Structure 1
Amino acid sequence: MQVDMHIHTIESDGTFTPEEIIKRGLKNNVTAIAITDHDTVAGIEEGIKFSNELGMEFIPGIEISCNEENLEVHILGYYLNLDDAKFIREIDELKKERETRNFKIIENFKKIGIIIDEEKLKKNAPGNIISRLHFAKYLVSEGIVKSKDEAFIRYLGKNGLAYEPKENFPPERAVKIISDNGGFVSLAHPFLITPDVDLLDKLIERLKPYGLDALEAQYSSFSKTQIKSLKRIAKKHGLIITGGSDFHGSNRTGIDIGCGGLEYQQLELIKEKLKLKKEERV
């Protein structure tokens, strides 16, 4: 694909720097990318710098992690205004909430007799945030589990011994934060939220009034049937399509930059939609 709108760097739970992302994208014949780290924009300035130097069209983005009853809902934001002080404060609050959750996870491990060395944990997270994936890598490095999958099954997943739910952060709030910033808003990998189309319909209907613009239908792990289904859902609700690989480097094997995403003409539709949206706000 020419456009990859879902990529993670070392600033969240990826293993590539923004510079390495740009270079790999160019190598894979991608012409435009978005860095969409979880709950942080820490890699955006570096992404802009190297994309300008190396000749890559760059989209400042983010992926905000939300909770919806028993579901994990992720909201993607694009074409962000990083000069918006209110937006930056909201993102800083996300980081604080994540740090609070991480502290509780460490306490949960302590209760079951596993002491987490926080300095070693941080070495597994060179970027701006610590995620459950970093906990999983730590558990592997310490020989507590044999694989990251085992770490999630035994300790970090929803039924895990050290699991700690995310503080209440509804997806409506995430959509509004991005929309108020002037950005373009997409519901990330909908069928990873739930395969229940009726449930997705209800979620979309709730989020649209807050500024939802799109569905991430062209996602790297979705089948052709799933993609067609999501396109029908998007059309039903008057939404545009986004797409991406969800590249995490070595933290997610079998996925490379450009293996999911959009053709460039689809990106042009997004730009036009965003232009109209901004004109309506004036």
Structure 2
Amino acid sequence: MNSVHLNGRYDLHTHTQASDGMNTPAENVRLAKQKGLAGLAITDHDTVSGIPEAMEAGKQTGLDVIPGVEISTRASEKDVHILGYFLQYEDEQLCSRLEQLRTVRETRNERILEKLNELGIAISMSEVISGLGRELGPDDSVGRPHIADVLVRKGVVADLREAFDKYLAEGAAAYVSLPRVGPVEAIAWIKEAGGAAVIAHPGLYGDDDLVRHIIKEGQPSGIEVYHSDHGPGEEMRYSGMAREYGLLMTGGSDYHGVRQGQVFHGDLGSRSVTADVLEQLQARAGRP
């Protein structure tokens, strides 16, 4: 870590156009600089393709950029996300595994569109991709927010929240979940790639028994206590769980950019941690 940043703060959960964020990796870095952060992590869904651009932007701006990923997993009939930090993002085995997950995501997206069409809402994948306003990179990932954008533009729903509540969230009319890697295995993948694994936004799962099971079986380095969708109750509960199991308490905004005039999930820098947390996370990276 750069010594000039010892008193700075870090947002450890941000997304870019490499997955379902609105900004380029470099734009996220510049925004972090504007907001007075010392650095940020790039944690796109099932891809590390945005990291090199962000790292270069970090060198130009003097910000620390932490290479990361957010792996989509499935357990107890719930979508569970595992964050990885300080991993060797060019590791061939990791990249191959992430490619397999993106293939599952592509199939899921097609099934979602099939369900929407069955509901009388005509949307094609070419329409979703054209709505990106840019060329889709070979390692980039299309997500539900991209489909939500089209639903808003077509006037099917008023905003992104309604798109998820009515059609895309778990249990909604067009929701689809396919078999995926389990969270314990994803934690192992991150460790094998030299990284430190963290359970993302545990409060969103509504199942603390599952969270405890993942902790006991997977032995992650940390748990995301501070998140844009966590209130004071969740922060208190998961900070207690972190102390109980000797986990680091991490945090991040889960920033995806501005869609349809709304910041999704939270504004960049709205949740952050101090440099000492980051240093401890780095120290735990790659441990067996």
**2:248 counterpart residue number:** 240
SS at match of 2:285: helix
Counterpart of 1:41 in structure 2 is 48
Aligned to 2:3: none
Distance in 2, Cα, partners of 1:222 & 1:273: 25
Q: Indicate if the aligned counterparts of 2:12 and 2:253 stay in contact, CA closer than 8 A.
A: yes
Structure 1: 5+ residue stretches without partners:
none
Q: Shift in Å at residue 272 of structure 1?
A: 2.4
Cα contact 2:51–2:67 (8 A) shared by 1: yes
TM-score, with structure 1 as normaliser: 0.90
2:222 maps to 1:200: no
1:272 aligns with 2:286: no
Q: Deviations over 1:174-196 (max 9, x none)?
A: 111111111110000111122x4
Give the equivalent residue in structure 2 for 1:218: 226
Letter of the aligned partner of 1:262 in structure 2? V
1:99 aligns with 2:106: yes
Aligned counterpart, 2:78? 71
Count matched residues.
273
Shift of 1:8: 0.7
Aligned to 2:29: 22
- Distance verdict in 2 for CA 1:84–1:110, change over 3 Å: same
Q: 48, 52, 59: which is aligned to 1:52?
A: 59
Calculate the aligned-residue CA RMSD, in Å: 1.9
Distance 1:83 1:151 in 2: 35
Out of 69, 81, 90, the position equivalent to 1:83 is 90
Equivalent in the alignment of 2:18? 11
Q: Which amino acid aligns with 2:183?
A: P
Q: CA deviation at 1:27?
A: 1.0
CA drift at 1:219: 2.0
1:161 aligns with 2:169: no
**CA-to-aligned-CA distance 1:114-141 (integer Å, 9 cap, x gap):** 3213222102334522111111111111
CA–CA distance in 1 between the matches of 2:128 and 2:71? 23
Provide closer, same or farther for how the CA distance between residues 273 and 168 of structure 1 changes in structure 2, counting only shifts above 3 A.
Answer: closer
Q: What is the aligned-residue identity percentage?
A: 33
CA contact (8 A) 1:215 1:241 kept: yes
- Aligned to 2:273, the other structure's residue is in SS state coil
1:106 match: secondary structure: helix
TM, length-normalised to structure 2? 0.88
SS in 1 for 2:251: strand
Higher helix share: 1
**Post-superposition offset of 1:200:** 2.6
Q: Which residue of 1 aligns with 2:192?
A: 180
Q: Runs of 4+ in structure 1 displaced over 6 angstroms?
A: none
> 5+ unaligned residues in a row in structure 2: which ranges?
1-7
Q: Which residue of 2 aligns with 1:253?
A: 263
Q: How big is each residue's C-alpha offset from its partner over 1:182-219, in whole Å with a ceiling of 9 and x where there is no partner? A: 1110000111122x4444323321222xxx11101122
